[in-house]
Amino acid sequence: MYIDPRRCPVNFEVGDRVYLKVSPWKGVISFGKRGKLAPMYVGPFKIMERVNDQAVVLELPAEKCKVYDDTQLVPLSDLRVDMNQKLVEEPVRIVDRKVTKVRKKEIHMVLVEWKRSLGSNLTWETEELMKALYPQLFDYD
């Protein structure tokens, strides 16, 4: 009852060209956004080899392939994970402060430098939250 009645079985052979269906979010990141809408299908890609009934090997263009880079690796000893399997990051220092006005309310923000191996090292956080979580950063106040 869960099968689409209009679906027909398709058998692909070596040498056929196929399109890949991508989700809109993944399409924006991996294949670039063209115009206003993200692509739903990318390709065509040539089938190089059949692995089994459901799996094939595709010939992907060189510019889309990711190259393995040793400099981007982070040793497991440098990572700390909490009980919820989330990465634990430690703040190093407060770099800057600003006050953001939202309607009639003022929100005090601090620019925090994080000790992390991946991604950006600076983020804006609320001063109230940072004082609650990391009071040692505000010892000079």
54-64 pLDDT tens trace: 888 988 877 65
Q: What percent of the chain has pLDDT over 90?
A: 18
Tell me what pLDDT residue 20 has.
80
Give yes or no for a contact between 26 and 38, defined as CB atoms under 8 angstroms apart.
no
Position 27 pLDDT exceeds 80? no
Q: What is the pLDDT of residue 73?
A: 64
| pLDDT score of 108 | 93
Domains and CATH numbers, the chain: 17-64 (no CATH), 72-138 (2.40.50)
Q: What per-residue confidence (pLDDT) applies to 110?
A: 93
Is 50 exceeded by the pLDDT of residue 28? no
Identify the pLDDT of residue 67.
Answer: 58
For residue 36, is pLDDT > 80? Answer: no
The chain-wide mean pLDDT, for the chain, equals 77
DSSP line for 36-77:
SS--SEEEEEEEEEE-SSS-EEEE--GGGSPPP-GGG---GG
Determine the average pLDDT of the residues in 85-96: 82
Q: pTM value?
A: 0.43
Kindly state the average pLDDT of the residues 106-120: 80
Which pLDDT score, from 0 to 100, does residue 37 have?
Answer: 55
Q: What dihedral angle (degrees, nearest 10) is formed by the CA atoms of 17, 18, 20, 21?
A: 150
